[in-house]
């Protein structure tokens, strides 16, 4: 098995199409928080449907992926909420809210997997240890594509168009790293439900990448 390095790549197929997202709709932070909770609960419900037969073990690729991708997704949720709350571009606000809601739902699914497998939410192994030579993918203690603490601080403190541009740049890198992590899981797992969910994550993030790149190009003019 070969592990892909987290280099930028575009989705296979035709050149990126125009964004298919709906126009942004402004709604309150409280409503957004409720939507996040609902997404998490729906994720738990979906994840609990995973059969318990032949459950993955504590050091399995499936368990490692669920734990590491939960952390990876959590950063994307925060970034998306910042874009939704402080972004000035309506498409950026919509992209941010969609990513936050979608990835919070994924977190619910992955945590439900661990519960159904009777495994702890956190493991004893290092990040990316579930991938052969995966620890070499860690940079400055971060998994592929994740923003540094300094970059997150910059995003939290940014205002105006700077929020839009910084969010788009960071999320493009974040999604590329996430796709490589999904590919590493798909190379190893034959758990039907896990593979299906991971492939859906990849498809969604590839679509997001098209929208993120198009929005960044438009804003930069």
d(CA 221, CA 214): 11
State residue 89's pLDDT score: 98
Segment 97-106 shows an average pLDDT of: 97
Q: Is the dihedral of CA 85, 91, 96, 97 positive or negative?
A: positive
Burial class (CB in 10 A: 0-12, 13-18, 19+), 193: middle
pLDDT given at position 152? 98
> Is 148 a residue whose pLDDT tops 80?
yes
In this structure, CATH architecture of domain 29-220? Up-down Bundle (1.20)
Beta-bridge mates of residue 142: 139
At residue 163, does pLDDT exceed 90?
Answer: yes
User: Exposed/middle/buried for 157, CB within 10 Å: 0-12, 13-18, 19+?
Assistant: exposed
CB 9 within 8 A of CB 196: no
Say whether pTM exceeds 0.95.
no
Domain-wise residue ranges, the chain: 29-220
| Share of residues in the chain with pLDDT > 70 (%) | 77
pLDDT bin (cut points 50, 70, 90) of residue 44 is low
Q: What is the pLDDT of residues 23-38, one digit of tens each?
A: 444 556 667 767 676 7
In this prediction, residues 173-184 reach a mean pLDDT of: 98
């Amino acid at each position: 098995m070969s592990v892909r390095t987290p280099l930028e790549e575009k989705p296979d197929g035709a050149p990126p199409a125009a964004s298919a997202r709906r126009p942004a709709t402004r709604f309150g932070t409280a409503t957004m928080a409720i939507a996040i909770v609902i997404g998490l609960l729906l994720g738990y419900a979906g994840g609990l449907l995973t059969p318990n037969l032949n459950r993955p073990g504590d050091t399995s690729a499936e368990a490692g992926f669920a734990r590491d991708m939960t952390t990876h997704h959590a950063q994307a949720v925060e970034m998306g909420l910042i874009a939704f709350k402080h972004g000035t571009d309506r498409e950026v606000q919509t992209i941010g809210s969609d990513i936050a809601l979608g990835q919070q739902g994924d977190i619910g699914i992955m945590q439900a997997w661990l519960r159904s497998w009777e495994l702890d939410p956190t493991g004893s192994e290092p990040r990316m240890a579930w991938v052969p030579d995966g620890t070499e993918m860690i940079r400055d203690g971060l998994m592929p594509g994740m923003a540094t603490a300094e970059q997150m601080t910059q995003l939290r403190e940014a205002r105006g168009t700077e929020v839009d541009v910084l969010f788009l740049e960071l999320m493009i890198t974040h999604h590329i790293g996430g796709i490589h992590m999904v590919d590493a899981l798909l190379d190893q797992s034959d758990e039907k439900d896990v593979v299906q969910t991971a492939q859906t994550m990849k498809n969604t993030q590839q679509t997001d990448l098209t929208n993120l790149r198009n929005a960044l190009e438009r804003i930069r003019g």
